[in-house]
A and B are shown apart, each in its own frame.
Chain A
């Protein structure tokens, strides 16, 4: 227990931990502030203004179509119409019906909590995961690099206990930041919706869905922090984790993506990790293959689809986590420390 408390202290004392956490929280704050200033509350005046804008737009369309028809008729009568410039019959040129121009199009952006909040949980999870990854990698990587791990093992010769206690302290520290940050995120956007949008139609089911998405975001952050920690421990340097992540992104994702595209592979995105992260957060991602036509009863051509579910993503995350953490533990137990 003393080792666990000491590692928590060590984590908190590290400048990099503090700066990374602060930077992550500032980015989140910027998203909230941006959301606040780019949305407006819809009142009667805003609706009336939108109605007026829609009316003006329709009248402009009427003027444009009348002018175009006049030009058409003049060209037809004068025999100067170029082929394809006008329709065969100028009478078909008509303005859109009034109801086709909807006032909704001219409404300012507003934050509908029920419809929009779910999407904001994606950047929250991404930033928490990023902070978790680099702090996790740095926490153990710097220990290896500076000889701190060796010093610690001279005091506590149980290697696996030391490594797992460090990991436990890291995850506790991450939760200590991520949980309040997530709670504040919910609260901030509720405030944004209250002041700059609407909180209507929030049922218990909607709340439950958001809570579960938030929970999956926390799990994703914890998993990426553990992977960063394990990679840095495996390579005994922070750069191992950061370099590994960059290599996976550049080679494994962009490179693989281009290769699959060139090879004309079906559902190329199914091979890319971000797809699974997105599916984990959104519960499902549907990939579409536009090269295949699946005819409907009405003769319509629909693309072939593939669903990636959050359960499939969970399996992938669990396997990846087990393999990388297992390798780090094995190396910790077996490899000499020199």
Chain B
């Protein structure tokens, strides 16, 4: 599939006299293929918004290459901007203008036919409130307006930063459906979000960023599979037998983590081996369940941002590719 968005070795350093230099982007790579819904994930301060702003010409990069729809950006942004719809961070609009005025002014600036305004208002569910001032809108309604503004020019590439922020559950589901519909119509969607359950449901592929570098990428199933530990949860008929079972399984080479009422096993290729082994010892299994890994646990694992009881994690405390415990540094490259 052709790439709609490609980033290679993107670098951005913020320099401060007091705090010195900080690499917001440290050789970041990304590739998004046409027609996909692509999730862009990362902890706070990892460089997601900086990446999007740089891509859209709002921030000057210090190094690296970017392409949108086959054009080098930021040089070709005036050419491709008409085909890229984007919202970056919290939606902000002039509070005294109505939604219709806001969209009308954007449509005027971008030479978009006025009929498109009603189409997008209908699409995001703001048709009946379009004449009200934006300052009377809830966060979710502003979010809908932001999505409407991004959709106004019928873009080929839609970039949405936290589009579900502030939406009610119904709104989140509508947004999910909208994203899928847009992708099916041929639009490529890049979603940055912290609602990982949503990302897992909506997205075809993901990129995970931590401290300015890519830590994982690819189709969602592949990323999950790569980080699946093959965990299995085992319960026995008699809780008192857990210790003996743990001993037998450890001797057989499984990594066992005892819990008060069950055992967690890792490194088990065939769960049937567990029942056979324990039955031979006279221990009878009441539950044997493979534990499916989800995107949230993969994300927390990859970025090392899982909460630890008694510790207050700071914003920049997350995993850096190539750092301690991360031997497999990415090499980057177009479509890597």
Contacts and interface: CB of A to CB of B under 8 A. Distances in A.
Interface of A: 2-3, 5-7, 9-10, 13-15, 142-143, 146-148, 150-158, 334, 336-338
Contacts of A154: 56, 58, 81, 84, 86, 88
Nearest to B86: A154
Nearest to B91: A147
A9 B93 contact: no
23 contacts: A6-B109, A9-B108, A13-B97, A146-B94, A147-B93, A151-B92, A152-B106, A153-B57, A153-B58, A154-B56, A154-B86, A154-B88, A156-B109, A157-B56, A157-B74, A157-B81, A158-B78, A336-B53, A336-B58, A337-B53, A337-B58, A338-B58, A338-B59
Interface in B141-192: 149, 153
A7 B92 CA distance: 18
Interface residues of B, number: 29
A205 B11 CA distance: 66
Nearest to A142: B94
Contacts of B111: 2
Nearest to B79: A157
B78 A157 contact: yes
A155 B110 contact: yes
B57 A157 contact: yes
A2 B93 contact: no
B101 interface: yes
A237 B197 CA distance: 39
Contacts, number: 76
B106 A150 contact: no
B81 A151 contact: no
Contacts of B81: 154-157
Nearest to B89: A147
Contacts of B77: 157
Contacts of A338: 53, 58-59
A117 to B, nearest CB: 39
Contacts of A152: 106, 109
B60 interface: yes
B22 interface: no
A202 to B, nearest CB: 46
A243 B139 CA distance: 31
A3 B92 contact: no
A148 B102 CA distance: 9
Contacts of B93: 146-148, 151
Nearest to A150: B58
Nearest to A161: B78
Contact of B59 (A2, A9, A10, A336): A336
Please provide the 8 A-B residue pairs with the shortest distance between their CB atoms, ordered closest to farther: A147-B92, A6-B108, A157-B77, A337-B58, A336-B59, A155-B110, A6-B109, A157-B57
Contacts of B78: 156-158
Nearest to A152: B109
A42 B101 CA distance: 56
A3 to B, nearest CB: 5
A331 to B, nearest CB: 13
A2 B107 CA distance: 10
A54 B237 CA distance: 126
Given A13-B101, A157-B74, A148 B94 contact: yes
B88 A14 contact: no
B21 to A, nearest CB: 15
A2 B108 contact: yes
B105 A6 contact: yes
From A9, A14, A334, A338, residue with most partner B Cβ within 10 Å: A338
Nearest to B56: A154
Contact of A155 (B58, B95, B97, B109): B109
A268 B175 CA distance: 67
A150 B53 CA distance: 10
A155 B106 contact: yes
Contacts of B149: 151
Nearest to A148: B94
B109 to A, nearest CB: 5
From A142, A157, A158, residue with most partner B Cβ within 10 Å: A157
B129 interface: no
A10 B86 contact: no
Given A155-B110, A157-B74, A148 B92 contact: yes
A337 B60 CA distance: 9
A9 B109 CA distance: 11
Contacts of A155: 81, 106, 109-110, 153
